[in-house]
Structure 1
Amino acid sequence: MKKLALAALAGLLSLPVLAHDYSVGPLNVGHPYSRAMPASSPTAAVFMTISNSGGADRLLAASTPQAARAELHQHINDNGVMRMREVAGGIALPAGGTVTLAPGGLHVMLLQVPKQAVSGDRFPLQLQFEKAGKVTVEVKVESGMAPVHPAGH
């Protein structure tokens, strides 16, 4: 029994770490990732969780060498049609709260992507916060095609 438990523990310790987190001030950026997209797609999106253990802050901007532009976006219901729009003024991060950037919701939109990353690739993304400042995170590209962008994007 003891040998079995030790073997299981050794197996778990040999697994690659799946989560990757980054901190800047009271903010923790958890598991920034993107999904593999078709090679011809001029856009991609980045998702993550941002936890705030301090006072209110705001994600103001993002940038990456992976795209000509990065914008903070959200999905909105426009008379029954789901559309993506840039978030005016950034993404609010409430004191003591957590904000999730996820498919179908808030996200970092990468525009004019010259070459799509493939599953397993990683690329840097710099995030600019109003109070906490800047942090560069590593975005992991995961398998699984992103949903087709709704009309009107």
Structure 2
Amino acid sequence: MSIRPAARTDVPVILELIHDLAIYEKEPNAVKTTEAMLEAALFGDSAKVFAHIAENQHGVQGFALWFLNYSTWEGVHGIYLEDLYVRPEARGGGHGKALLKNLASIAIEQGYARVEWSVLKWNTPSIDFYRSLGAAPMAEWDTFRLTGKALENFGAQA
């Protein structure tokens, strides 16, 4: 198994894995991203999104897609892990752990304060896995999101 930065040629398989993740998260019709959008986000002139690939002798088994955030309290960047996904048949093979170790090493090398992500409350296999790594939930925090019509309506008031 190896972990490497994503290449342009990985865009189709990354999008395939994003669709698989959406199915796993019970949102099979939620993905609007296209290959062109993903390629621009990852490799365009103003790319601000990064991805790493986990692969073995059978090909790509998973990916991590992330971007930088910033902590005003720490005064430095951190990594926000948007998506982590490993194919079901490859789970338990260390791919997810290797992807997270890779992100942790990037954070350390760059002097970033943290690696953080969200997980669905019902996803106990992932929650148990994250806890086994030493990750802890932010018990006092909830995620809020403005999207769709609510975003349009609120933004129109500016």
Larger-Rg structure: 1
Flag the structure with higher helix content: 2
Flag the structure with higher strand content: 1
Report the TM-score, using the length of structure 2 for normalisation.
0.29
Report the TM-score, using the length of structure 1 for normalisation.
0.30
